[in-house]
Every structure is written in C-alpha cells, then in structure tokens.
Amino acid sequence: MALIKSVRGFTPQIGENTFLADNATVIGDVIIGNHCSIWFNAVLRGDVNSIRIGNRVNIQDGSVIHTLYEKSVTEIGDDVSIGHNVVIHGAKIEDGALIGMGAIVLDHAIIGEGSIIAAGAVVLSNTIVEPGSIYAGVPAKFVKKVDAEQSKEMNQKIARNYLMYSNWYREENK
C-alpha cells in the first residue's frame, strides 16, 4: 500500500480512479486529480510547499516531485506524462506536456502546453519553454517546434495507456 502521510497539517488529496503503486510516496500539501497514476518508487513530497497535479497525469517509476520552502510550488496540468526517474522541483508543467526519462526541471521553469522535454535534459531555473517546443540537452535548449496535433495525440495516447496499465494492477488484486 502506498505511503500517504500528513505533515504540517496538510493531508494529500487523491482524485477518483487514481492509481498509487504499492511503494509510491505522497506527503503533505499534494492534490492529485482524477484518472492519474503514480508509479513505483515515485515520491511527491509536499512538505515544504504545494504540489498540484491535474487529471490523467502519469508520474512514472522513480520520479521525484518537490518544491522550495516558501519560494516555489509545483503545478502539473492535465494529460501530462512524467517519464521514469524525472525530477521536477518547483516548476510549472502545462497541459499535454511530456517530460522524458531522467530529465530534471528546476524551480520556476515553465514547460509550455504540448511541449516535449527530451530524456536526460536539464531545464534550468526560470527557463520558459514555449508551447509546442522540443527542448534537449544539458542545459536544455530549443531544438524545434512540434506539430501541435501530433503532440496532443501522442501525449493523450500515453496517458490512456498508463490508465490501462494501472487497471492491470487493480484487476490482479481483486
């Protein structure tokens, strides 16, 4: 069973039909929307400031979501996919974005709607990624624009797939 822990008077709020893997950790001032999935070893640590997650978001294995005390919050929109071993620290991820495996997104960065952050990229603090852009590298830099419809279709497919995967785990436990 996932570790859901209150801290400083804040208790995580988990939306309907949201899957929490057995060893996922959700702490403090965290609100998760509906139809999300938080996978194995993922940590959402809202102990020092707030974390807000929209609907149909998947946060894959080993990812860490955190903030800076009294300085940054993390906001993740709808239909967002957060790859394996991603770190998001006090950033805003807008609807339909994809954060590739092992990427790091730092405080006050804004990842625009439908953008893609490549695997292993490091998005520095205060970086603004324009909607529909692909960024890659260390530090992450603009690579090219992505077709808005292709990006939306791909990210919605990933979100649907992760909902399907999470249902496999529910079925096994019946």
Average pLDDT over residues 144-158: 87
pLDDT band at 134 (very low <50, low <70, confident <90, very high): very high
Return the residue matching tokens 């999935």: 37
CATH H-level, domain 3-172: superfamily:
Hexapeptide repeat proteins (2.160.10.10)
How many other C-beta atoms can be found within 10 angstroms of the C-beta atom of residue 166? 21
How many other C-beta atoms can be found within 10 angstroms of the C-beta atom of residue 7? 14
Please tell me whether residue 13 adopts helix, strand or coil conformation: strand
List the chain domain ranges.
3-172
97, 92, 87, 10: CA torsion to nearest 10: -120
Residue whose C-alpha is closest to residue 73's, from 56, 58, 51, 98: 51
Say yes or no to pLDDT of 154 above 90.
Answer: no
pLDDT at residue number 174: 53
pLDDT in tens, 71-119: 999 999 999 999 999 999 999 999 999 999 999 999 999 999 999 999 9
34, 32, 166, 103: CA torsion to nearest 10: 130
Residue 79 Cα to chain centre, angstroms:
10
Q: Is 29 exposed, middle or buried (0-12, 13-18, 19+ CB in 10 A)?
A: buried
pTM: 0.95
pLDDT at residue number 155: 83
Residue whose C-alpha is closest to residue 21's, from 54, 62, 68, 72: 62
pLDDT band at 173 (very low <50, low <70, confident <90, very high): low
Say yes or no to pLDDT of 13 above 70.
Answer: yes
pLDDT in tens, 25-77: 999 999 999 999 999 999 999 999 999 999 999 999 999 999 999 999 999 99
